[in-house]
Amino acid sequence: MQLPRVTIKDVAKKAGVSIATVSRFINNINLKESNHIKVNSAIKDLKFKPSIYARRLAGGKLDSYGLIIPGYEGIFYSFYALEIIREVAAALNRKSIDLHLHVSWIKDSFKSSLVDGVIIADIVDNEKQFKRLLREKIPLVVLNRKIKEKNISYVAIDNFKGAYDAVEFLINHGHTRIAHFAGDLRVQCAKERLDGYKSSLEKNKIKLKSSYVKITNFSREEARIKLEELFAEKVCPTAIFCCSDEVAREVLNFAEEKGIGIPKDLSLIGFDDNPHCINGNLMLTTVRQPIKEMTKIAVDILRDIISGNEVVRKVVLETEMVIRDTVSFI
């Protein structure tokens, strides 16, 4: 028969001290020598192993931060998602803090009691979870999404300007028939990239052609379907600006199959600076977003909040054009 689990209350009772005193012992907070000896002896006698819940008492730190990533099809093949995970893990490791990774699907099953604070990598179909964490007053920082509420910190990318600059670059190379393969428009960054595309066309007095805007949801499979539609048009584009390098990679595959020369017949710009898209004879012109810097800043902000420095920071980082082989003059 399994023996009853020893609790912090049992230790306090055996030691003849309060639960708060045992909690301070567990969290290495200074105690009177007599109390320290009593609690230490009780723990050894009872073979007590502190739980994370015990460490939470008296303001104890777990040295574990949560990273919540909204779940979507193909998440573990996504360059962006994997980079976020890798860079957050690396930043935490440098500070001797554990990573608690949670992929958020429809059900809100994240246990905030397991962590000191949370980094949320965007908010897509998990608004209820986000609001629940706010109600629980869990320290948190949002990545890659600007939040209007004054008391919430975020670190985001200037997706609008990155897209604007990419389309402007194509226009400066003589292109006026420019298509855009957009991401999932429920995601703020995809909407901002579409807005940047439209704004650049408008500023340069180029009429927006609605059939040139294709929603791919960041999916290569969806991009293939949209490419078939796009190149069935009577007048095809001379350039495509893609929401991600993965989508741009599918354009490269399609062009090779159809005998479309890049950049001779079709210029192409991606977004991300995915190293897997610069192999081979053609290296992709793209927009680099500073994922490493974004995650490092987010970790630093969260650590400050957890430490009691309640300064709200709203950070927007600049992108950078990376000019390679896939754009030419016409």
Assess whether 221 and 257 both reside in one domain.
Answer: yes
The per-residue pLDDT for range 68-100, each reduced to its tens digit, is 998 876 677 788 899 999 999 999 999 999 999
* Whether pLDDT at 3 is above 70: no
Domain presence at residue 328: no
Assess whether 117 and 263 both reside in one domain.
Answer: no
Assess whether 268 and 187 both reside in one domain.
Answer: yes
Domain presence at residue 171: yes
Assess whether 284 and 163 both reside in one domain.
Answer: yes
Q: What is the pLDDT of residue 75?
A: 75
Assess whether 17 and 90 both reside in one domain.
Answer: no
Task: Give the total number of structural domains in the chain.
Answer: 3
CATH of the domain at 72: 3.40.50.2300
Q: Is the dihedral of CA 125, 128, 132, 135 positive or negative?
A: positive
Assess whether 69 and 144 both reside in one domain.
Answer: yes
* Whether pLDDT at 300 is above 60: yes
Assess whether 152 and 301 both reside in one domain.
Answer: yes
Task: Please provide residue 71's backbone torsions phi and psi, each rounded to the nearest 5 degrees.
Answer: -75, 140
Assess whether 281 and 185 both reside in one domain.
Answer: yes
Task: Report in angstroms the alpha-carbon separations of 188 from 51, 95, 183, 194, 226.
Answer: 39, 30, 10, 10, 21
Domain presence at residue 324: no
Q: What is the pLDDT of residue 2?
A: 47
Q: Please measure the distance between the N-terminal and C-terminal CA atoms of the chain and give it in whole angstroms.
A: 81
Domain presence at residue 3: no
CB 301 within 8 A of CB 91: no
Domain presence at residue 314: yes
Assess whether 297 and 150 both reside in one domain.
Answer: yes
Q: What is the pLDDT of residue 53?
A: 54
Assess whether 46 and 109 both reside in one domain.
Answer: no
Domain presence at residue 326: no
* Whether pLDDT at 223 is above 50: yes
- Report which of 220, 169, 196 is spatially closest to residue 322, judged by C-alpha positions: 169
CB 19 within 8 A of CB 1: no
* Whether pLDDT at 295 is above 60: yes
Query: Which residue range forms the structural domain that includes residue 219?
Result: 159-288
Q: Is the dihedral of CA 294, 295, 296, 301 positive or negative?
A: positive
The per-residue pLDDT for range 113-128, each reduced to its tens digit, is 889 999 999 888 888 9
Assess whether 284 and 179 both reside in one domain.
Answer: yes
CATH of the domain at 52: 1.10.260.40
Domain presence at residue 330: no
Assess whether 46 and 100 both reside in one domain.
Answer: no
CB 192 within 8 A of CB 163: yes
Q: How confident is the model at residue 154 (pLDDT cuts 50, 70, 90)?
A: very high
The per-residue pLDDT for range 230-251, each reduced to its tens digit, is 999 999 999 999 999 999 999 9
Q: What is the mean pLDDT of residues 287-299?
A: 97
Q: What is the pLDDT of residue 66?
A: 97
* Whether pLDDT at 1 is above 60: no
The per-residue pLDDT for range 238-286, each reduced to its tens digit, is 999 999 999 999 999 999 999 999 999 999 999 999 988 876 788 999 9
Q: Is 280 left (phi over 0), alpha (psi -120 to 50) or beta?
A: left
Domain presence at residue 240: yes
Report the predicted TM-score, pTM, of the whole model to 2 decimal places. 0.83
Q: What is the mean pLDDT of residues 280-297?
A: 94
* Whether pLDDT at 191 is above 50: yes
Amino acid at residue number 145: R
* Whether pLDDT at 17 is above 90: yes
Calpha distance 303→307 (Å, rounded): 6
